Structure 1
Amino acid sequence: MIHRYFFIFGIWLLIVIILSGCSASPVQKIYDHLEQSAEIESLVEEHQEPLMNFETQEHQLFEEMIVLSLADIDKIQTLAEEAIELATKREETIEEERERLEQAFEEFNHVEELISGIEDEETREIAAAMYETMEHRYESYKRLYDSYTNSVQLDKQLYEMLQDEELKINDLENQINTINEAYKDVFQKEDEFNTFTKEYNEHKKQFYEAAALNVSFE
């Protein structure tokens, strides 16, 4: 699920104007931090294809397990162990994404100390709104990460349960229901994160326009 969240961030095609003065202005410094942050975050895409493959393979294994009977317990156990390995790979991939996004947010945070130095009031207010939205976006991402990793843990518990020859159908149904509810929460967190991403992109565009930066968006 998480692999879909970051494409929304967008691709900025940028043409930087030459600003007057011997040292960079607060606007130019903010611009540099914004684009460095975006560049770091764009590297998250490297993890998307393997993550999608892990999810697909894991789902296929689960589909195989649920049609087998207890007479095939050895086969179920083998498939369950494979599914656990794939779930672990998902956790590792998501952790790598989290670290990359944390780096991007840390780079973005340099913007805060520069906002007060913007001379134009309207541009300064837009920059402040942009910063606040990114803060909300980061907090939203952390909630999404926690929700997703919790769901993966529940998946792994399910695969452990399926290896138990004495597993009761009621316990299995309860675990599946718990997992379904957990992924509903993931979807809700996804929507929240996407909303903040969209708002941030809008504020970023407004900032570039208010600061009269010669930037083209596609």
Structure 2
Amino acid sequence: MILLFSPINRILFLLAGAVLVLSGCLGKESPETELYEVLEKAVKAEKQFEAQQDPLIELETKEKAIFDKIMGLGLKEYSQISTLSDEALEIVEKRKEHIALERQSLEESRKQFEEALTILKEIKKPELKEKAQLLYKTMKDRYETHEMLYKEYMNALDGDRQLYTSLKAKDVSLENLEGQVNTLNEYYKEILEANERFNELTEKYNKEKLDFYELAGLIGEES
């Protein structure tokens, strides 16, 4: 799994899968060390998020190949289109399962991270407190961005499901299909934008976290 500083390029339309960096730490117990422990627990909670990236890429690639094949057939090739649409619908359901696991992982990370708010209030040094507040805000924005991305992705999955179901109907019109594809394109445009924002925030957070660790003297050997 490639970590954040070389983000995965997602095939087709969605998540680049940028992930948090896990660090090592040396230092005695203090608000700064307690905060470190919370931040690293949040990173570990995202292991399931990382694990969904490759399966999603594979599923999206397969679905895209099926869609292209369908588009290469005429609407009169009903039997082939129906069979391929059923295959695509199965993939849509699998994608839904993986994105749900991804969201679950981020929600667990968010729960771990919430402990940071209480701890950062105990930090006395102004410069350290400022950096802690900054990384806290960045991470909160990151979680919110992923939630927005998740909702758009679910909308897109619903649209995909509707499209492949429509393709199985013998009386579907080309105009109807074009309308659905245009709607899907809008969903995926929103997904791409949210994904870029998510990756930017992940990079920003990783940098801010390491800056905080260095200033607090918490950096040991990276794991």
TM-score (normalised: structure 2): 0.88
Map 1:14-163 onto structure 2 (within 5 A). Answer: 14=24, 16-19=25-28, 24-163=29-168
Give the partner amino acid of 1:169: L
CA RMSD of aligned residues (A): 1.7
**Where in structure 1 are there 5+ consecutive unaligned residues?**
none
Q: SS of 2:114's equivalent? A: helix
Which residue is equivalent to 1:12? 22
- Structure 1, 207-216 or 147-156: larger mean CA deviation: 207-216
Per the TM alignment, residue 154 of structure 1 is displaced from its structure 2 partner at its CA by 0.8
Question: Aligned partners of 1:65 and 1:6: how far apart in 2?
Answer: 32
Q: Is 2:200 the partner of 1:200?
A: no
Residue 13 (structure 1) shift: 4.1
Contact residue 45 and residue 108 of structure 2 kept, 8 A: yes
1:117-169 deviation digits (Å, cap 9, x = unpaired) = 11211101110111111111111111111111111111111101111111111
What 5-or-longer segments of structure 2 have no aligned partner? Answer: 1-12
Larger radius of gyration: 1
**Cα 1:147–1:85, aligned 2, differ >3 Å: closer, same or farther?**
same
Query: Match of 2:209, SS?
Result: helix
Could you tell me which amino acid in structure 1 is paired with residue 16 of structure 2? R
Structure 2 residue matching 1:4: 3-state secondary structure? coil
Q: In structure 1, what residue type is equivalent to 2:191?
A: V
Once the two structures are TM-superposed, the CA of residue 184 in structure 1 deviates from its matched residue by 0.8
Does structure 2 conserve the Cα–Cα contact (< 8 Å) formed by 1:3 and 1:52? no
1:12–1:216 Cα contact (<8 Å) kept: no
2:185 equivalent to 1:180: yes
CA deviation vs aligned residue, 1:94-136 (integer Å, no higher than 9, x gap): 0011001110111111110011111211101110111111111
Paired residues, what number? Answer: 211
Distance 1:185 1:37 in 2: 27
